[in-house]
Amino acid sequence: MEFICKHDPSDPNHLICESKRSPVFEWLRGRWQQFYCAGPSCPTHKAYTHLVVDIFLVIAVAGLVVANLVFLSRGRGGDKVGSNSPRAQTATLATIRGGEEEVEKSQPNLFSGEENKEESLQYSGQSELFLEGEALYFSMEGEQLGRGPWPLQAGQETKIKVFLRANTGRDFEGVVVSGKLGPNAAWTGFAPQGRGLVYEPASQIVRWRITWSDRPGSSTRAVFEVAITPDFSQIQEGQVLIMEDLKIRAKSLVSGESKTVLAPDVILDMTTGSVLK
């Protein structure tokens, strides 16, 4: 609102001032009287329909403005909080790659001789822990140990003996030998030697827990029977897988670390009836 003053024509020393409203005020006043005014003093008697509609429009516009401001503020700080920003993606990839490197560093290298302080993994012959297995139908002296047809016949059951020999020494405790039977091999339950031998049918794993009383010297042995029913492909190959994933695990009384030593698979050689070396 502004005031416009001018001299009174009848009295030059007297000023006549009039207030003049701004165009915006006059526009709002005219719109109020045209659409919103409902009282008896208004030139037209209108309901408040237009007022309610305009209020909702103002709220909607204000909401859009606020949403736009929030979006712009997030856009400026996207590198900090936005998971899809280039910096965030780079940081995520760096974290993943760093994790892979840490995992690789924590795993022992079987070929370079590196060991993990918590648990080392080696092959039989690289450690004071030693394990070997063999499957026999005939002994080395020619004595028959197995039962059933020999040479093996496809689809017919033959029972053989499996020999496990472990060398643990006196510096280890909690010694456990384990191995999984082959696809056409079955546990018969006959184990003439080796206390602590158990079979887990669900996983087909043979587990042998060796205690102090079971090893009067540095070496101990277990013997058990396995029934095999070879198929035509095994007959043609001349070899039958008896046990796989054969390993021995123990904890060192000197260093306190756990050691796992892997041994070769036990494979029956049908040409001799003994282990394939």
CB-based contact 176:249 (threshold 8 Å):
yes
Amino acid at 45: H
How many other CB atoms are there within 10 angstroms of residue 87's CB atom? 11
Q: In the chain, count of helices (H) and strands (E)?
A: 5, 14
Domain 119-275 architecture: Sandwich (2.60)
Q: In 3D, which of 160, 108, 152, 113 has the Cα closest to residue 135?
A: 160
CA dihedral 239, 245, 250, 256 (to 10 degrees): 140
- Cβ neighbours for 117, distance < 8 A, ≥ 6 positions apart: 257
How confident is the prediction along the chain (277 residues), in pLDDT tens digits per residue? 555 666 667 766 666 666 666 666 677 667 666 666 655 555 554 555 666 777 877 888 888 888 888 777 765 544 443 444 444 443 333 333 333 333 333 333 433 334 444 455 555 555 678 889 999 998 888 889 999 998 889 999 999 999 999 887 777 888 899 999 998 999 999 999 888 899 999 999 999 998 766 554 567 899 999 999 999 998 888 889 999 999 999 888 888 888 888 999 999 987 765 543 3
Could you give the 3-state DSSP secondary structure of residue 202?
coil
